[in-house]
Structure 1
């Protein structure tokens, strides 16, 4: 049984919207973050880069 104190990964995506010149990211687990457009762009690229790396680390990844 997983330890309830240890956060588990979510399979549901977050969603971003633009409001009044800011980007609001909402997601699972009550995630809510407001960022400038520049911070959102850098966060988005970082997430894409990390997703590529994570897929290559999976034990079932094809060479």
Structure 2
């Protein structure tokens, strides 16, 4: 598993999404900005949610003493 302390640019602040003139604008950290159709934004949201659930499971499994984590 990747050590979170060594991931360059890892952010803990969330992006901000708005709807304007029928499109979704996602403003993220470091000046990242993406404009998407409503359908593309919805699919992106679903994929981000699924990935966040998996990442949380991975973090829980990596904690010492949890099932599936390597023992020291």
TM bracket, shorter-chain basis: 0.7 to 0.9
* Gapped regions of structure 2 (runs ≥ 5): 68-72
Q: TM-score scaled by structure 1? A: 0.82
Q: TM-score scaled by structure 2? A: 0.73
- Runs of 4+ in structure 1 off by over 3 angstroms are none
| Residue number in structure 2 paired with 1:56 | 57
Aligned residues: 60
Which of the pair has more CA radius of gyration?
2
* Gapped regions of structure 1 (runs ≥ 5): none
Distance 2:53 2:22 in 1: 29
CA RMSD of aligned residues (A): 2.3
SS of the counterpart of 2:12? Answer: coil
Say which structure is richer in helix. Answer: 2
Distance 1:33 1:8 in 2: 18
